[in-house]
Amino acid sequence: MHGLILVQLQKFAQQTLGPEEWRRALSKSGLDRTTFSAGLVYEDRQALELIVLAAETLNVPVDEVVEMFGRFISTELLRLYHRVIKPQWRTLDIIENTETFIHSAVRVGNPGAVPPVLDAIRLSENELQLLYSSDRKLCKLAIGIIKGLADHFHEVIEIYKDSCMLHGDPFCTFRLVRNLAKQDTKKLDVRNTIQFGLDSPLTVQGDPSSWEGGTNKTLADKTLAERSKGEPTRWDSYLSPAIIESDFASIGPYRVLGQHGEGGMGCVFRAIDTRNEQTVAIKVLHPKVSKEATSKKRFLRELLALQQIRSPHVVEVRDVGEVGQLPYLVMEFLRGTNLQMYRERFQSLPAHEILRIAIETVDGLSAVHRCGLIHRDIKPENLWVESSTLNVKIIDFGLAHAVSDEMRLTRTGTFIGTPSFMAPEQASGGSIDPRADFFSLGCVLYDLSTGQRPFDRPNILSTLSALANHTPENPHVLWPDCPVGFSELIMQMLEKAPENRPQDCQEISEKLKQIMDRLST
């Protein structure tokens, strides 16, 4: 194994786990006595030991760590071999020329190194057939590198697997397709103001801890959650047998690698779609909750709502179905963190970054509203910031409500939503429309700008009272760097009466872009 790989493995583990935790893991395993040089060749066993140690420390499957490492090393490979990479090349171009330029350079510079054989056939500008062959069978590393390159160039590359050495085939064949319809939107250049480090592999969307507790669930849900948590669930009795022996289970064509976590309302699993080797998140409703009509109805509403929405700023639903009589939802696997944690890492954000977040969130809300839906729970925890692109996505549609739906889930003594981000008409159990989401987003933007939640109080009753009666201080007063026009827009979104708020997403989006343009000049 080329020493460069082992050096980068160490760097990957340090950044993923933190230097101290990785040093402790190395010391405990006895692997801290070896140092590696990028100019030498080492036994494959030594690389495997580092990968297994990282997987055990992270508590994730080995093949998942291999793919994560592939994503990590992709940008380093671009840096090392920039002299042979043409400036106009993008993901498919680099893959097409890897064998000719990069692997040949590796073999000449270090005869003992044995890189894999890559045979690429360019089918069209946006499609490539790739054959991978290596005794090491590290096709997961190749997939990770491809995904990392796509992240770097802000491209969407779909990977379709035709054969795989891990399944007994003599080589792996992949079809790579560049999806121009899903290309990432251009991000503002914030590198000079913020240092981003959001690649924590254990942070994924759909954390089941957000399904229970707090103030955003009904009393009935809390009882169900407490009952369910008290009795460990034998999920393997509901899911299908594993496709590969080391897996946890399977759901249709999905290899379930393991549980991300379990809450009272259900469980989120990390899985791989065997049809294209993409990692996905699968949310399965808890068996006990699925027997409760209201909870199951709310979960099914999430399935139906998300299937209708198409936006780069809303979590993408890949599939829905039922396993063991339990409904499940297959979503794209998002790496990064929610907006609440994102904000906490940097204490404060510059105005242009807050405006970017606002514009992308409104774009997502526009897609939601076009489908005749209201999210009803816009808050920092339900806005996701992706690690590779900083793309903002709206997640968690468990409380989504059809505008034409007359059934109310709010009833005497209970309410659904998060009080400190809830529109007054929603908190009082009245009729709501899309403008309720604008109030919630106004609360989020107020919090991002000032560091204060405008209506947050020590308890629910005082919070509800503040929603009905309190007018918060203008954000510009609390944060002088806040553009005046942005401050005024936030205050308009926080108006008690829906008719005094902006009336649609287009109105908000146009104002935000005008403010952004003035800020840039």
**Cα dihedral value 118, 123, 126, 129, nearest 10:** -30
Q: Confirm whether 377 is a catalytic residue.
A: yes
The residue assigned the tokens 């140092």 is: 35
φ, ψ dihedrals at 394, nearest 5°: -85, 130
> Who contacts 182 (Cβ-Cβ below 8 Å, separation ≥6)?
156, 312
| Edge-to-edge strands, sheet with 127-133 | 117-124, 127-133, 172-178, 157-163
Alpha-carbon distance 41 to 7, whole Å?
A: 11
Q: How far is CA 292 from CA 229, 295, 305, 408, in A?
A: 16, 6, 20, 17
- Among candidate residues 71, 18, 73, 25, the one with its CA nearest the CA of residue 52: 25
Count of CB atoms situated within 10 Å of the CB of 510: 12
Return the axis-axis angle of helices 44-58 and 3-17, rounded to nearest 10°.
Answer: 10
DSSP string, 204-257: BS--GGGGSSTTSS-HHHHHHHHHHHHS---GGGTSBPPSSTTSSEEETTEEEE
Q: How far is CA 359 from CA 364, 451, 507, 511, in A?
A: 9, 19, 11, 10
Among the listed residues 207, 273, 377, 447, the single catalytic one is 377
Q: Which residues are the active-site residues?
A: 377
